[in-house]
Amino acid sequence: MNILHIDSAITGDASVSRKLTADIVARLKAANPDATTTYRDLNKGVPAIDTAWFQAVRVAPESPTEAQQALIDVSDAYLKEVQDADVLVIGLPVYNFTLTAQLKNWLDQISRAGVSFRYTEAGPEGLLKGKRAIIAYAAAGTPFGSDLDHASGYLRHMLGFLGITDVTFVPADRLAFDRDAGLARAQEALEQIAA
């Protein structure tokens, strides 16, 4: 089993999503001692896509310039980590009712027509099939799955668009109102995950 462990919280050691992703990975590794883990902290920075990225990565010139190749290499590195993974463990802290900018940038980097998805006569088809995603959702005030939650549904949709449809959430929500209850809900969900 290859695990891709992704964090994106900006709150450092105080992060609930970081603690949850670590707990999820530990649970997976306890049940699968030979599992390997690749760790990616998106808080260290993920380049946003722009016109230069589009020209380099999506238009894909036959002879990219050095600057274009550097952009391609960054996107390829993110994508290869996902392609090589059997399980993605993703920290989803909710800021201002949605996912972090870093996590959105990462999704943009790995969403590559013809590589991670393709368009067919029947509609789009995700090409990253056969993977599982476990999402550690943490929010101070946004109830998981509510009309205010613009994070979990979007992430589930994007993963499904890329072919990852086996998605489980471990939600620690409403932490600002009752932290203990929110953490207890997350622990209960964590214990339901089949490692």
The three-state DSSP-derived secondary structure of 70-125 is HHHHHHHHHHHHHHHCCEEEEEEECECCECCHHHHHHHHHHCCECCCEEEECCEEE
Q: Which residue, among 145, 126, 130, 141, has the nearest Cα to 173 in the 3D structure?
A: 141
Distance of CA 153 to the CA centre of its chain: 13
Please check if 16 is assigned to a binding site. yes
Quick check: 17 and 7 in contact, CB under 8 A?
yes
Residues 152, 96, 93, 88, CA torsion sign: positive
Please check if 17 is assigned to a binding site. yes
Please check if 94 is assigned to a binding site. no
> How many Cβ atoms from other residues are within 10 Å of residue 54's Cβ?
11
Positions at the binding site for FMN? 15-17
Positions at the binding site? 15-17
